[in-house]
Amino acid sequence: QQPVQSPQAVILREGEDAVINCSSSKALYSVHWYRQKHGEAPVFLMILLKGGEQKGHEKISASFNEKKQQSSLYLTASQLSYSGTYFCGTELDGSNYQLIWGAGTKLIIKP
Partner 1 sequence: DSGVTQTPKHLITATGQRVTLRCSPRSGDLSVYWYQQSLDQGLQFLIQYYNGEERAKGNILERFSAQQFPDLHSELNLSSLELGDSALYFCASTNGRGGSNTGELFFGEGSRLTVL
Positions that interact with partner 1 (CB under 8 A):
29-30, 32, 34, 40-44, 47, 49, 52, 87, 89, 91, 95-104
- Say if residue 42 is preceded by a cis peptide, omega within 30 of 0: no
What does the alpha-carbon distance between residue 72 and residue 88 come to, in Å, rounded to a whole number? 9
N-to-C CA span, the chain:
37
CB of 78 to partner 1, least distance (A): 22
Q: Which is nearer to partner 1, 19 or 49 (CB)?
A: 49
Q: Which is nearer to partner 1, 18 or 35 (CB)?
A: 35
Q: Which is nearer to partner 1, 9 or 77 (CB)?
A: 9
CB of 57 to partner 1, least distance (A): 16
- Which residues neighbour 96 within 8 Å (Cβ) at sequence distance 6 or greater? none
Q: Which is nearer to partner 1, 7 or 52 (CB)?
A: 52
Cβ neighbours, 10 Å, residue 99: 16
